[in-house]
Amino acid sequence: MPGADHLVICFSQPSLSARDEARFRAALDLAARKTFGPAISVVRLEGAGTGLVAAMRDARDTGAQHLRIMPVGFPMAANIRAWLPGAIAHFAATEGGDMRIDLADLCNIEDAAQALVALSTTADAQDMQAVRPSLGKPGWQFLPDFDTHILVCTGPRCAFRGAGTLHAQLKARLAKAGLSDRCMTTTTGCLFPCNQGPLLVLYPQGAWYHVPDQDALDRIVCDVIAQGGDAPDLRLSERPGRRRDMSHTKIERIT
């Protein structure tokens, strides 16, 4: 890695338990330290926690001259590969100062596939005859009891725009308002209007809100969820003509 004095490894994995994420972070950090001496950060592109922007700011603020970004995915999704260079360039242009930033090209799907297959042929194996057959736990047939379902986007582009702490902040705010057991919160991958992130969606209202800061979150919890009102300046507007009246549409059953 000639010249780079700071390395940020950013991995992408939409579905990962906290335990596995910690293990993966540690493994990436250990692997990087074997070949790269200077400062290293490991961040995930989705979900909660310190994201890529915070890591780049940290590198800049600690005096990095040349920052190398190393994407890791098995494989990295095509839409992230397409989006990531522009987003990093946007940071470089707006906040990067004199720090040089480059992006490693480690998205070789063939190499990753070969490495994984080679690993799996030597890995321990579990005999399925020794496992109790099951499609799910007994309680999983019941619907959860709640009034409002809140979807919180923690996709890579919302995370880049600061959504890393949104779900935790929302849960804390709902608890403070005494609404925890009336609201179900779900983190999601990309919901599509990424340019308006961070965002959340309320159902059954079907209302989408931009959540730029804690004050906006407070208003959504207090004015919209608790009081049944609205926060019009935070609400994302629909594309004109998007909804079609389906009530008179005759759709024939296939079977």
- State the first-to-last Cα distance of the chain, in angstroms, to the nearest integer: 60
- Which tokens go with 124? 């321990």
Is the CB of residue 174 less than 8 Å from the CB of residue 183? yes
Closest listed residue to residue 80, CA positions, set 197, 167, 159: 159
Binding of ligand FES at residue 190 (CB under 6 A)?
A: yes
Among the listed ranges 75-83, 117-125, 192-200, 245-253, the one in contact with ligand FES (CB under 6 A) is 192-200
Considering beta carbons, is residue 179 or 194 the nearer one to ligand FES? Answer: 194
Closest distance of CB 77 from ligand FES, Å: 12
Give the residue with the Cβ less far from ligand FES, 192 or 203. Answer: 192
For tokens 């609400």, the residue is 235
Binding mask 75-114 for ligand FES (x = CB under 6 A): ----------------------------------------
Sites for ligand FES among residues 146-175 (CB under 6 A): 153, 155-158
Query: CA quadruple 222, 164, 235, 147: dihedral positive or negative?
Result: negative
Q: Which residues pair with 68 in a beta bridge?
A: 7, 102
Instruction: Say if residues 9 and 72 touch (Cβ distance below 8 Å).
Output: yes
Calculate the CA 194 to chain-centre distance: 11
User: 79 or 108, CB closer to ligand FES?
Assistant: 79
From the CB of 12, what's the least distance to ligand FES, in Å?
12
d(CA 35, CA 50): 24
Q: Is 210 in the site for ligand FES (CB under 6 A)?
A: no
Q: Which is nearer to ligand FES, 96 or 164 (CB)?
A: 164
In terms of CB distance, is 92 or 191 closer to ligand FES? 191
Among 109, 175, 192, 203, binds ligand FES (CB under 6 A): 192
CA dihedral sign of residues 36, 21, 166, 173 = negative
* Footprint of ligand FES (CB under 6 A): 153, 155-158, 190-194, 197
